[in-house]
Structure 1
Amino acid sequence: MWTRSFLILHGVENRRPSDHWQHILAQRLREGGEQVFYPQLPDPDRPALGAWTEAIEAESAMMRGERIVVCHSLACTAWLHLAAARGGAPPADRLLLVAPPGPSAFSWEAIAPFSAASLDPAGLRLSEATPRLVCSDDDPYCPEGADEVFGRPLGCDVDTLAGAGHLAVPDGYGAWPAVHTWCIDPATRLTAG
């Protein structure tokens, strides 16, 4: 019987490369005997919100024990839509949102339907525990500041990293030990990779 399980969700144009922190995280958790779901979401280059939320729901249904979800980039707003569709039933016990795209990013036609602008943040129950948001102060996909756009309205605990970009491989986020530590101990503050 699993006491906890992890769901790791990637962003747009991400085909789960082996040098990305999410891939490394999935591998480390599995090596530690954890149950990990790290799906390739449908059509990552031209994602459809309905297809992504359906795939995420299917993966979530297989989780057992404490449900811990780690979202990066576009998966963050997909998770918001999933939570809105569920109403009051939170789809996770613990949640980590990493570098969600801000309002200006949704001018890109390929991801426009994922915009969270129509959602009421006060009405969203994202997880049983207070969600954690980790973002950068210079994310080109959220120049508005994820702490202001998402952190405060969603009631997240926020860790803002200086000069960390989009918290992806080009920004130096291959191995990121702090995320693994948070997965095991939710009291951990997220620090630079």
Structure 2
Amino acid sequence: MSFQSTILIHPGLGNSGEGHWQTLWQEQYNLERIQQRDWETPIRTDWVQTLDEAVLRAGVSNVILVGHSLACVTIAYWAEHYQRPIKAALLVAPSDTEAASYPSGTTGFSPMPTVKLPFPSIVVRSTNDPYMTMERAQDMGEAWGSELITIPNAGHINVASGYGSWPAGLELLQQLDHL
């Protein structure tokens, strides 16, 4: 499989380790991974700046961002701040940084950004994600102007939830690639 667009993988907290679909896609399709300085105690302004630098290096207009968890929130903050006309974004299992259950250690990711994204996007949510309720994911998807895809009982759509290479996710990425 090859892509027409430049695909930038952006993991969330912990950097989507071995066996995670983001890591597998990166390795299998030679995709670029955005490298944040701090994967465990991130600061929003640092993550947004690093994301912007990666998008500018890649050429902006032909970029598709693939975010997981906290990276989805980062992408929304980045879009609000920079309004860059990228091609699209695949936002998988966004985490609710305002929830009482959200892990501590992040700085500046609350409140959740609610700006309409200036590019096409798909938000993929699970019916039992421990980091974002279905209702909250619906609210974020609507605020961001995203198409909303629901996967039953998929947890946080990560290795712990049984998601390795995730072919259905690749189909969504291909859909965005052909816009």
User: Scaled by the length of structure 1, what TM-score is found?
Assistant: 0.80
Q: 1:115 to 1:171 in 2, by over 3 A?
A: same
SS of the equivalent of 1:184 reads: helix
Contact 2:116/2:143, CA 8 A, preserved across alignment? no
Shift of 1:144: 5.3
| Code of the aligned partner of 2:156 | H
SS at match of 1:147: helix
Deviation at 1:143, TM superposition (A): 2.6
CA contact (8 A) 1:99 1:134 kept: yes
Secondary structure class of the residue paired with 1:85: helix
**Ranges in structure 2 where 5+ consecutive residues have no aligned partner:** none
Match of 1:9 in 2: 10
Structure 1 residue 20: deviation in Å? Answer: 0.6
Contact 1:137 / 1:165 at 8 angstroms: preserved in 2? yes
Structure 1 residue 70 corresponds to structure 2 residue 66 = yes
Give the structure 1 partner of residue 38 of structure 2.
Answer: 43
Distance 2:37 2:118 in 1: 22
CA contact (8 A) 1:136 1:167 kept: yes
Residue of structure 1 in register with 2:164 after alignment: 174
Deviation at 1:112, TM superposition (A): 5.0
Q: CA deviation at 1:113?
A: 1.7
Unaligned runs of 5+ in 1: 31-35, 189-193
Could you tell me which amino acid in structure 2 is paired with residue 73 of structure 1? S
Q: 1:158-189, CA deviations, whole angstroms, 9 ceiling, x for partnerless residues?
A: 1111100000100001111122222223399x
Do the aligned partners of 1:8 and 1:39 also contact (CA within 8 Å) in 2?
yes
SS in 1 for 2:63: strand
Mapped contact 2:116–2:145 kept (Cα < 8 A): no
Note if 1:23 corresponds to 2:17.
no
Aligned residue pairs: how many? 174
- Correspondence 1:95-110 to 2 at 5 A: 95-102=89-96, 103-104=98-99, 108-110=103-105
Secondary structure, aligned partner of 2:156? coil
3-state SS in 2 of match to 1:96: strand
Paired residue secondary structure (1:68): strand
CA contact (8 A) 1:105 1:142 kept: no
Distance 1:176 1:97 in 2: 14
CA distance in 2, matches of 1:124, 1:143: 20
Which structure has more RCO (C-alpha within 8 Å, separation ≥ 6)? 2
Q: Which residue of 2 aligns with 1:159?
A: 149
- Is the 8 Å Cα contact of residues 8 and 22 (structure 1) preserved in structure 2? yes
Of 65, 76, 84, the residue aligned with 1:80 is: 76
Give the letter aligned to residue 124 of structure 1: K
Cα deviations across residues 65-88 of structure 1 (Å, max 9, x unaligned)?
6211100000011111111111xx
Is contact 1:77–1:115 with CA below 8 Å preserved after alignment?
A: no
Amino acid paired to 2:25: L
